[in-house]
Amino acid sequence: MTRRIAMLSVHACPLAKLGGRDSGGMNVYVREVARALGKRGIEVDVFTRWRERYDPRIQQLGENARVIHIESGPIGYWPKMDVYDHLDEFTTKLDEYVAAEGRSYDLMHAHYWLSASVARSLAPRWRVPRIQMFHTLGLVKREVMDEDVDGESDVRVTIERQAVHESAAIVAASEIEVDELRDLYGGDPAKIHVIPCGVDPTLFRPMRQADARERLGRDQCERIVLFVGRIEQIKGIDVLLRALGRLFIRHPDLRSDVCLLVVGGALDPGDDAPETEKILELRRLVHEHRMEANVNFVGSLDQQKLALYYAAADVCAVPSLTESFGLVALEAMACGTPVVGTRVGGLQTLIAEGESGLLVPPGDDEALAEAIAQVLTDHRLRTHLAHGARDRAEHFTWESVGEKIAELYESVLATSSALEV
């Protein structure tokens, strides 16, 4: 019997340009999981907010997998709380669309707290079980952020709590997330399934560093430190800039041959205002540390180009304050680039300390500087970590994520039909 899944990803369109504000790992996750499920013969419709005016309503994502855009409020980028304010409209329009098409689904799989709210209304109406993946949790974010920049905390946490208790199953990206769901939200561990994220090994694979640098026209720098991600405080990019400042004070010889490439963030001022402001703030930090010649803001890149940057780098820094999984770290590892990451969330389970990367405490620019210096100056260590990283990354593919999610669907459906009998 062909299974049909309604996947809800209200604010993260799987076809969106990556690296800008609010588009990153979750978009990649939904895209890759929908494709992997589709390849297994499961029909997946991903429902997402209509954000880009010229996108058609329906776009094919892959075999058996489609993206369907649903109108809710005016088209364009909006902060998450504005998306929240239009969730009722999204829910109604989605319900109407599905009714008009005469479609029905076996199961609903929701991503992030915004989609959890829609799933809460529609799953009982459609009489289907609901599965939830949070990607990040409000209460975890609250622990590490000094202010609630998105103004979302309270409402978000309420919706998350409801989803933890009401969903038939929850997908967590790591064991650490299981602990967080249990300790902070009172989640039942029996309902939580750890399925780590994946990487596309045909796209992110080792390549000769010299070739990658030549193809990028970036052979002027002796050693490259790479940062990839959304330009937000939670990603710890300011900690990384301070670490680089320290590194140059402690190792003045490195100032002339180390550069940091910052990938991510929109550089077009009209495109994404809040992020541009953050980049201006970071540029001031660069100026304070006299690192203008060492730091280059590259802007967002597509993943084909990004693979070349990973291969060109000597080390990939992932200084996040919190990280539910950390796809960037896994992609770098798959390219054979050692990672210096923070000891938070999924990074701790992904990176084997001293074997496939180095881990430092979050927010600690001194420890980060030291770890980066170690990888840059100790050739044997770097080679050891590069091999370890590649070996470790081989365990994570989207194909196997798809397989585990498909198994989870079957077990949830078996339980829910047993309950109906």
Binding site for ligand UDP (CB under 6 A): 18-19, 24-26, 28, 228-230, 263-264, 300-301, 303, 306, 325-328, 331
Token couple for 17: 């340009």
The least distance separating ligand UDP from the CB of residue 305, rounded to whole angstroms, comes to 8
What is the enclosing helix (H) or strand (E) of 258?
strand 258-263
| Residue with smaller CB distance to ligand UDP, 94 or 260 | 260
Nearer to ligand UDP, 28 or 237 (CB): 28
Burial class (CB in 10 A: 0-12, 13-18, 19+), 249: exposed
What SS3 class is residue 360?
Answer: strand
| Separation of alpha carbons 365 and 404, rounded Å | 38
When the beta carbons of 331 and 365 are compared against ligand UDP, the nearer one is: 331
Least distance CB 234 / ligand UDP (angstroms)? 8
Backbone angles phi, psi at 27, to 5 degrees: -60, -45
Mutual angle of helices 303-312 and 327-334, in 10-degree steps: 60
CA atoms within 13 Å, Cβ hemisphere of 156 = 20
Chain centroid, CA 51 distance in Å = 19
Pair 38, 61: CB distance under 8 Å: yes
Q: How far is the CB of 187 from ligand UDP (least distance, A)?
A: 21
**DSSP H or E run through 59:** strand 58-62
The residue (of 51 and 120) whose beta carbon lies closer to ligand UDP is 51
* Residue 229 beta carbon to ligand UDP: minimum distance, rounded to whole angstroms: 6
Distance of alpha carbon 225 from alpha carbon 358, whole angstroms? 14
> Which of 167, 324 has the CB closer to ligand UDP?
324
Nearer to ligand UDP, 108 or 327 (CB): 327
- Residue 107 or residue 224: which is nearer to ligand UDP going by CB? 224
By beta-carbon proximity to ligand UDP, the closer residue of 107 and 389 is: 389
How many CB atoms are closer than 10 A to CB 104?
Answer: 12
- CB of residue 26 to ligand UDP, shortest distance in Å: 6
What's the min distance (Å) between Cβ of 413 and ligand UDP?
28
Closest to 152 in 3D by CA, of 208, 215, 237, 84 = 84
Closer residue to ligand UDP in complex, CB, 111/213: 111
Given the complex with ligand UDP, which of 77 and 325 has the nearer CB atom?
A: 325
- Answer whether 95's CB lies under 8 Å from 125's CB: yes
Q: How far is the CB of 350 from ligand UDP (least distance, A)?
A: 10
Residue 329 beta carbon to ligand UDP: minimum distance, rounded to whole angstroms? 7
How far apart are the C-alpha atoms of 319 and 342, rounded to whole Å?
5
What 3-state DSSP class applies to 34? helix
Distance between CA atoms of residues 71 and 74, nearest Å: 8
> Closest distance between ligand UDP and the C-beta of residue 351, in Å?
13
Least separation in angstroms between residue 298's CB and ligand UDP is: 8
Strand (E) positions, 150-222?
Answer: 169-172, 192-194
CA atoms in the 13 A half-sphere facing the CB of 386 = 22
Direct distance between the N- and C-terminal alpha carbons of the chain, in angstroms, rounded to an integer: 19
